[in-house]
């Protein structure tokens, strides 16, 4: 086998991956890796390439399975961490793909009838119902569990209402009320789809009975003004990461966005001249909201002196460490958690900041339709929960307790 060599940034790469080392280095630098990290990762690439050469593997034999095999044999650090970065090395697969090198993939077994049905159901959710991929994945997982219980062969013609009710009861035995409610929601969607496709003779979605939960057991909870101020003060705005975290927290508090909506915010969604921002909400709905001055100033400060120069991503908020890329919903929630820890306040989820705006509006006497418009609720019943936080307003309309005079 011809022994090819490529010296890149002080790291000698030999073997089947040597011709791709330059492009691998360029990809790492474009994604925000420091010069020191680039050299380190190139040394790992050289080690991987030598490992492949010893096994007489070509570049086209490289795959994620091969990479996992290589990493399993690499010694770990004393703290248990990997010496090589899976995330960094996995990017060599992208380079090979860009060159058209046939990366080996495991042969997929023919899809079973159940998996074929679930795949079709997922396509229906994405295309017809306009749900997000993450929501579709959750629904498909619940539908898969239902099929395993009631129709392993995906034959739904003989399905009965009692089968559906039994599945819900079985789920409720081992899962929490919230998890069972999600199962019921996904199951109803799957059963409606099955009826539309003619897989069942009748619509059995009504047989998935609602799960009772004491909705009035607790009030919607936000955070108080002092806690909100502590979260904002915890961000070191002298540093790029602090400017980013501050802009995210201000956006959550002032606009009441969901974590996913902040993560999906793109540069073209901010209309600086009109002072508006386009929000991509649930069900692929788009809404235009006014852009408050403090939110606009925080985002502008991050874009000017915090966001990585030359980043190609169109999302507004990016990761602060390599590889540079857009934040996820979990990433936004993680920023809120870290801010709580820094501020020394009880840890809350990002959605609590959305509750904060709603509670503030309700406390200021804003009517429910106005709150619903700000939060972009499709049903006024969802907003009605916030009416309960206006304690003084409730006292004014409360009827006297029978026999409770003088109390």
Active-site residues, by number, are 258, 282, 351, 354, 377, 386
Nearest CA among 224, 232, 252, 228 for reference residue 329: 252
Answer for the pair 27, 95: CB distance below 8 angstroms, yes or no.
yes
The token pair at 295 is: 């939110």
**CB–CB of 228/253 below 8 Å?**
yes
CA pair distance 146, 183, nearest whole angstrom = 9
- Token readout for 59 is 């570049």
Closest to 363 measured CA to CA, from 224, 218, 217, 216: 224
Long-range contacts of 64-70 (CB under 8 A, 24+ apart): 64/90, 64/93, 65/104, 65/106, 66/104, 67/93
- Give CA–CA dist 285/303, Å, rounded: 26
CB contact at 8 A, 236 and 406? no
Tell me how far CA of residue 339 lies from CA of 248, 295, 300, 329, in angstroms. Answer: 11, 18, 21, 16
């Amino acid at each position: 086998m011809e022994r090819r060599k490529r010296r890149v940034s002080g790291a000698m790469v030999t073997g089947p991956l040597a011709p791709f080392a330059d492009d691998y280095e360029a990809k790492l630098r474009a994604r925000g890796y420091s010069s020191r990290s680039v050299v380190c990762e190139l040394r790992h690439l050289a080690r991987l390439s030598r490992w492949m050469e010893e096994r007489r593997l070509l570049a086209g034999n490289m795959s994620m399975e091969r990479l996992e095999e290589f990493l399993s044999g690499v010694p770990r650090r004393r703290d248990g961490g990997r010496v090589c970065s899976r995330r960094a090395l996995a990017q060599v697969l992208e380079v090979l793909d860009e060159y058209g090198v046939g990366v080996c993939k495991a042969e997929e077994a023919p899809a079973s009838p159940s998996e074929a049905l679930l795949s079709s159901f997922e396509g229906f959710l994405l295309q017809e119902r306009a749900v997000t991929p993450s929501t579709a994945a959750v629904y498909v997982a619940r539908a898969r569990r239902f099929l395993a219980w009631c129709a392993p062969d995906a034959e739904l013609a003989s399905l009965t209402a009692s089968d559906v009710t039994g599945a819900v009861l079985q789920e409720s035995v081992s899962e929490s009320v919230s998890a069972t409610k999600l199962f019921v929601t996904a199951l109803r969607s799957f059963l409606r789809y099955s009826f539309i496709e003619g897989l069942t003779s009748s619509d059995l979605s009504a047989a998935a009975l609602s799960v009772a939960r004491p909705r009035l057991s607790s009030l919607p909870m936000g955070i108080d003004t002092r806690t909100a101020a502590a979260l904002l003060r915890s961000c070191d705005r002298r540093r790029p990461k602090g400017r980013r975290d501050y802009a995210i927290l201000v956006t959550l508090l002032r606009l009441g966005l969901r974590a996913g909506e902040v993560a999906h915010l793109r540069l073209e969604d901010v209309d600086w001249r009109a002072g508006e921002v386009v929000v991509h909400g649930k069900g692929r709905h788009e809404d235009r909201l006014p852009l408050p001055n403090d939110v606009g100033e925080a985002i502008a400060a991050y874009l000017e002196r915090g966001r990585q120069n030359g980043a190609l991503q169109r999302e507004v908020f990016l990761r602060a460490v390599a590889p540079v890329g857009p934040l996820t919903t979990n990433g936004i929630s993680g920023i809120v958690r870290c801010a709580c820890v820094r501020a020394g306040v009880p840890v809350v989820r990002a959605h609590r900041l959305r509750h904060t705006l709603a509670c503030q509006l309700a406390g200021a006497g804003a009517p429910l339709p106005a709150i619903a418009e700000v939060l972009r609720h499709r049903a006024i019943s969802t907003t009605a929960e916030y009416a309960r936080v206006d304690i003084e307003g409730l006292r004014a309309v409360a009827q006297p307790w029978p026999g409770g005079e003088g109390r």
